[in-house]
A = this chain, B = another copy of it.
Amino acid sequence: MTVADYLQEHQDRAEAQLMEFLRIPSVSTDPANAPDVERCANWVADHLRSIGMPHVEVYPTKGHPIVYAEYLNAGPSAPTVLFYGHYDVQPVDPIDLWTNPPFEPTVRDGKVYARGATDDKGQVFLHIKALEAMLAVHGKLPLNVKLLIEGEEEIGSPNLAPFVSEKKKMLACDAVLVSDTPMFAPGMPSLVYGLRGLAYLQIDVQGPDRDLHSGSYGGAVANPLNALAHIIAQLKSPTGTILVPGFFDDVLDITHDEHITLMDLDYDEDRLLNDVGATELVGEENYTTVERLWARPTLDVNGLLGGFTGEGAKTVLPARAMAKVSMRLVPHQKHGDIAQKVMDYILQITPPGVKVKVQDLHGADPVLVPRDTPAMFAAVQALEETFGSKCRLTREGGSIPVVLLFDTVLKAPTVLMGFGLNNENAHSPDEHFDLSNFHRGMKAAARYYELMASTPRT
């Protein structure tokens, strides 16, 4: 029996077990769910034991536990792959927009609908099933495998960096594998080699010391909402050019070579436009949509609040205004440097009569993983064999800070081999995962581990 046969034969059982995993409401951000998160960690650990992983441990942290498993029987001369994933999930609000309850997984049209289906339980579980098949068919794995499955990814992995630093030796590996990114399109597998970084700021503007009547004071007292609009309008032009001095200093230009590669992807802009329901796509001039999404920095207001926001009219000249503004960064921008440049600029452009405070809430540096590695080559081969389709090398607009962590602390290249799709509503109601990708993902994963077994140690 081949691994592929085994996977084929146990499809139904794998789906049934995935449903069990999806039924556990492991929402990491809500303290009320802490017992569920812990139960989920133990469920994952028990499952890893049941497939024959020789060493499995649940490490407590200051927050939610980290599940760790290792198979080292291939011996010190064999390569080692570290798989990283997460078993925690996003909150479910707004709950009334779900077709089925988010923790009662339901299959419709070949897709399983549940919170965590694509992000990231479905993708974690397909690796566990791949390893199970290899162990069941061959009685062993052809390489060493370590699994690091955390429970705090959706709240920014606050306890992962210290854990990885402390357990650096235990986690040592030749390559890291992450399945938490989308495929390029249905039927089109891809490997992500670039992620944007993030600088996330909060701007607070203070005008008068209390809300005033706009009739009695309007015209003489500065309005913090008008001031905030002026500040935001000067951060980025209406057509998408960021206006912060020095913002582009460290931006790595897209090479002609990469430009051609990205053009070759034949990115479907109509599908994107249709998907988001906007009137047109807009952004920085002289770049294609896919370049603007993946390889160019951008700036978005994420939230705005101030004054009277209820029904009807209230003539208030408000005391305060607040905006959350974030920038997606590209190599070689550094989030701390960018945050400082924006803060300095905002203080320069603050209109008269108001006080402004800018806070640096959150940041992550952008990352490019090397494309010219044995791990990348094995991944391309595994995906193309399994999907029978050319593997695209893509970048992503979002940030996955752990990739930089593995690069820095473990000095190992990361392969981002995702099996989700962009429109599977990760973080939204009706999150789902295509079961055909669940099953093909298992085969691709098993094939990747096999191919990695014969790569040279780094």
Contact = CB atoms under 8 A, between A and B. Distances in A.
B398 A213 contact: yes
Given A227-B238, A397-B216, A427-B213, A353 B222 contact: no
Nearest to A225: B301
Given A209-B278, A354-B279, A397 B218 contact: yes
B328 A209 contact: no
A220 interface: yes
A1 B240 CA distance: 79
A264 to B, nearest CB: 19
A219 interface: yes
A279 B353 contact: yes
Given A302-B317, A303-B309, A351-B239, A276 B217 contact: yes
Interface string A294-316: 00111111111111110011111
Given A215-B396, A239-B351, A303 B293 contact: no
Contacts of A398: 213, 215-216, 315
Contacts of A217: 276, 293, 397
Interface stretch (A4-12, A281-289, A405-413): A281-289
A223 interface: yes
Given A198-B315, A220-B293, A397-B218, A226 B278 contact: no
Contacts of A289: 220
Instruction: List the 7 shortest-distance A-B pairs measured between CB atoms, nearest first.
Output: A215-B398, A209-B277, A233-B233, A229-B232, A225-B301, A219-B298, A303-B307
